[in-house]
Amino acid sequence: MTLLEFDAVTKVYAVRGAGHITALDDVSFTLRSGQTIGLVGQSGSGKSTIAKILTQLETPTSGEVRLDGRAIPRRGAGLRAYRQQLRMVFQDPFASLNPYHSIRYHLQRPLRLDRIVPKSEEDAEVRRLLERVRLDPGVVIDRRPHELSGGQRQRVAIARALASRPKLLVADEPVSMLDVSIRLGVLNLLADLQREEGLGVLYITHDLATARHFSDEILVLNQGRVVERGPADDVILNPQHPYTQELRAASPDPDAHFASASGIDGGAL
Amino acid sequence: MDTTVTDRTNDPATARPAGVPATATIRTAEDPPAKTTHDRPTFRSKLGSAFAMFRNGKSIAGLSILGFFVLVAIFADVLAPYSPTAVDHTARFQPPSAEHWLGTTHIGEDVLSQVIHGTRGVIVVGFLAAIIATLIAIVVGVMSGYLRGWRSESLSALTNVFLVIPGLPLIIIVASMFEDPPLAVVAAVLGLIGWAWGARVLRAQTMSLRNRDFIQAARANGEPLRRIITVEMLPNLMALIAASFVGTVTAAILALTTLSYIGVIPVTTYNWGTILNWAGAQGAFRQNQWWWYLPPGLCIAAIGVALSLINFGIDEYVNPRLRSAGERARAMKKKGLNVNDTVTAVRPATRTEENP
């Protein structure tokens, strides 16, 4: 079942004194529920514009975005329902949680705003959410964000995104601000949750390795255009478009480094 | 060899299911309830954290001095030994004595009683003006910072206009419209001309806050605008609001005493500026009647110091680097280093034989 559909979406920014910048140029793709699409591309390729359109910070210049077959509503009850179905995990867990509020507050708000559970069950639901992201509710529930580590905060952010029981999760570089040693843990958590809940995930990243590890399909963006799309392994291992080849060549390859360092295959890259 | 290795996989306490990363916290139904080091935030703990910015030595010292003056203002009638306007022609220009602790004026009024009663006007005007100014600053500043487009620009323009309105001439005009301007009017005018700077600062901070991820996240959650501003933003602006409030109290007190001293607001109720005005007019400065002009002057200085201390305390709370700066400097002095050295002192290089 098609969950999200980008239909010939174009976004043009007017820049003072510099004419226009086309951030997205005729981008079309679909995302089925339960599917993970990795959106890769370098800075300025239009990844974040897609996230901004989905979170309604920007509106497309032309084209249409549909969730569950319906165009994104502008206001009212439709907008509320749309927001409830699509949630975002932000890049920087140090900035995405309000330093003033407790973890309990962060998870309670979406529950109350979307009336997910009756008030009397809120507390139990908050605890359940924390357990879902493998945090100990007894320890973290009344803490403030600054008392948690980066990985723990990102888990809280994921729990917050899941609180309204969305169908689609937009993860904008969810691990790029985390310590390398905990990235895999967070990504595996996302993958588990996605499998268990049948979530659609749009994974925005510039890291080809995690995109391949985590996504079913990969979409390569370059200067606002989709230049390549296909199953994750295909796109990464057998890139067709020159830009994808460049991207791949630019990312460090641990095997190649090991080989050249040990002198087996010196210099050949 | 085998005996030294404990097989942890058979130990039920440490065993974990396959595939679960070691960082994960496993909770089963049999788990004893985890000990919560952090209790659920109560009203008291929330109040405590809201005032965390005042919980340091400088702020507490400042608040104590300010609290002293507030108490004096409240209990002025009880504390003052005489009425501030009681004339005693038998005791004119008297230096401090047992009957008149701070001496008397040219017509035998008790200076101590005047200073005590004068505190009231200073405190009332200072706080009332600051409350008015801070409320306007919050509304205008946060709104113009959060909104976009012409509404933001017009509020910003309004702020700029009030920034450049010359305050003293305005208050002289307003004061001259009244025979005897009540303190509330003086405070209102001082508040009305004093909010613009706070609004400017709050606008800048709000503009920076509104693009933070946690505000975006709140919006994505569908939080209504009033909650985003009052619950998500205002707590993060508290330190700035407090600092701007304290700054406005200082400005209002200085303005009131200045205006009273130069005699443009003829308030019949005494404040420290009025006392200085009379002292100046009767030549106390020339005749060296220090007991008349020194006490009110010192009071103005003391309340200024108190308010500055509170502001320093808030500053340290907002910018923790300031907090450790003093400690660092002391530690350096102990080691015999000069704090003002621009670079870390480098030990003279020990000569080593260089390899060819």
| pLDDT tens digits, B301-314 | 999 999 999 988 88
CA distance B206 to chain A (A): 14
Q: Is A87 on the interface with B (CB under 8 A)?
A: yes
pTM of the model: 0.74
Residue A17 has what pLDDT? 76
Whether A90 sits inside 8 A of B216 (CB atoms) is yes
Residue B267 has what pLDDT? 59
Q: Which of B24, B221, B236 sits opposite A134 (nearest CB)?
A: B24
For residue A134, which residues of chain B lie inside 8 Å, CB to CB?
A: 23-25
Q: Which of B23, B213, B223 sits opposite A113 (nearest CB)?
A: B223
Region B327-337 average pLDDT = 74
Decide if domain B54-319 falls under CATH 1.10.3720.10: yes
Whether B220 sits inside 8 A of A96 (CB atoms) is no
For residue B33, which residues of chain A lie inside 8 Å, CB to CB?
A: 138
Q: One digit per residue, pLDDT tens: chain A, 269 residues?
A: 788 988 888 988 888 777 888 888 888 999 988 889 999 888 878 888 888 888 887 888 888 888 888 888 877 788 888 888 889 898 888 888 988 888 999 999 999 988 888 988 889 999 999 998 989 998 889 888 888 888 899 999 999 999 989 999 999 888 888 888 888 888 888 888 888 888 899 999 888 888 888 889 999 888 888 888 889 888 888 888 888 888 788 776 656 555 554 444 444 44
Q: Is a pLDDT exceeding 50 seen at residue B35?
A: no
Q: Which of A92, A139, A157 sits opposite B34 (nearest CB)?
A: A139
**Which token pair is A198?**
């049948």
For residue B41, which residues of chain A lie inside 8 Å, CB to CB?
A: 102, 142
Instruction: Please give the full DSSP string across B19-42, using - where no structure is assigned.
Output: T--TTSPP--TTPPPPPPSSPPP-
Region B76-95 average pLDDT = 82
| Residue B236: C-alpha distances to residues A97, A169, B304 (Å) | 12, 28, 27
- Cβ atoms within 10 Å of A32's Cβ, excluding its own: 14
Region B111-116 average pLDDT = 89
Question: Sign of the C-alpha dihedral, residues A255, A256, A257, A260?
Answer: positive
Residue B350 has what pLDDT? 59
Whole-number mean pLDDT of chain B?
80
Q: Is A195 on the interface with B (CB under 8 A)?
A: no
Q: Which of B41, B221, B235 sits opposite A109 (nearest CB)?
A: B221
Region B258-277 average pLDDT = 81
Q: How confident is the model at residue B13 (pLDDT cuts 50, 70, 90)?
A: very low
Q: Contact B174/B181 with Cβ under 8 angstroms?
A: yes
Extents of the domains making up chain B: 54-319
Residue B191 has what pLDDT? 92
Scanning A108-147 for CB atoms below 8 A from B yields 109-110, 113-114, 131, 134-139, 141-143
| Residue B139: C-alpha distances to residues A107, A181, B130, B136 (Å) | 29, 45, 14, 5
Instruction: Please give the full DSSP string across B35-83, using - where no structure is assigned.
Output: PPSSPPP-HHHHHHHHTGGG-SHHHHHHHHHHHHHHHHHHTHHHH-SS-
Q: Which of B25, B214, B222 sits opposite A134 (nearest CB)?
A: B25
**Which token pair is B118?**
């004068």
pLDDT above 70 covers a percentage of chain B that reads 78
Residue B202 has what pLDDT? 94
A82, amino acid identity: Y
User: Bigger pLDDT: B111 or B339?
Assistant: B111
For residue B37, which residues of chain A lie inside 8 Å, CB to CB?
A: 139
Residue A255 has what pLDDT? 61
SS3 A109: helix
Whether B217 sits inside 8 A of A143 (CB atoms) is no
Hey, what domains does chain A have and what are their CATH numbers?
2-248 (3.40.50.300)
For residue A114, which residues of chain B lie inside 8 Å, CB to CB?
A: 222
Region B287-309 average pLDDT = 90
Whether A138 sits inside 8 A of B35 (CB atoms) is yes
CA distance A94 to chain B (A): 9
CA distance A32 to chain B (A): 22
Q: How confident is the model at residue B23 (pLDDT cuts 50, 70, 90)?
A: very low
Whether A97 sits inside 8 A of B25 (CB atoms) is no
Q: Is B25 on the interface with A (CB under 8 A)?
A: yes
Q: How confident is the model at residue B151 (pLDDT cuts 50, 70, 90)?
A: very high
Instruction: Please give the full DSSP string across B221-234, using - where no structure is assigned.
Output: TT--HHHIIIIIIH
- List, in sequence order, the alpha helices (H) in A19-149: 47-54, 76-85, 103-113, 122-132, 137-140
d(CA B106, CA B87): 9
Whether A90 sits inside 8 A of B40 (CB atoms) is no
Whether A100 sits inside 8 A of B25 (CB atoms) is no
CA distance A248 to chain B (A): 29
Residue B22 has what pLDDT? 52
* Closest by Cα among B162, B132, B128, B114 to B260: B114
ipTM attached to this prediction: 0.81
CA distance B322 to chain A (A): 20
Q: Contact A24/A9 with Cβ under 8 angstroms?
A: yes
Whether B221 sits inside 8 A of A164 (CB atoms) is yes
Q: Is B29 on the interface with A (CB under 8 A)?
A: no
Region B60-66 average pLDDT = 93
- List, in sequence order, the alpha helices (H) in B147-194: 150-164, 167-177, 183-194
Q: Which of B34, B214, B235 sits opposite A136 (nearest CB)?
A: B34
Q: Contact A111/A117 with Cβ under 8 angstroms?
A: yes
Q: Is A91 on the interface with B (CB under 8 A)?
A: yes
**Which token pair is B23?**
């960082």
Q: Is a pLDDT exceeding 50 seen at residue B137?
A: yes
